[in-house]
Amino acid sequence: MSEAAAHEAIKQTINSNDVVLFMKGTAKFPQCGFSAQVAQILAHLGVPYKDVNVLDDQGLREGIKTFTNWPTIPQLYVKGEFIGGCDIVREMFQAGELHALIHDKGIAHTNHG
């Protein structure tokens, strides 16, 4: 997949899903600890999300990095907005900011803690 094609696929995925996690592996089978941490945080909050396994396509794996100008994976998007990687998501979760963001964006979720 070319970079332009990867960027288009990324844009379409972000625009058609409220919450998207570009990760190594899948929600059920994360392939790295950082991806697993973010998946666990989203599961704890009960947030439904689209998982995109960047290991399935090298073009996508590199494309997501240039799309956001962010060098690492995982990458979390909420309502089309890039939130950040593992450290940012973890810090936001611990401070209660991630739940507030999910709530403020009107995304249905099952756990409010």
| Exposure of 76 in the CB half-sphere (CA atoms within 13 A) | 28
For 30, the domain range is 3-104
Which two structure tokens, joined as six digits, stand for 21? 């996690």
In a domain, 110, yes or no: no
Average pLDDT over residues 46-71: 96
pLDDT at 113: 54
If phi > 0 it is left, if psi is from -120 to 50 it is alpha, else beta; for residue 28 that is alpha
* CA pair distance 15, 80, nearest whole angstrom: 6
In a domain, 109, yes or no: no
Q: Is the pTM of this model over 0.85?
A: yes
In a domain, 111, yes or no: no
* Tally of domains within the chain: 1
pLDDT in tens, 70-99: 999 999 999 999 999 999 999 999 999 999
**CATH number of the domain residue 42 falls in:** 3.40.30.10
pLDDT in tens, 24-45: 999 999 999 999 999 999 999 9
In a domain, 73, yes or no: yes
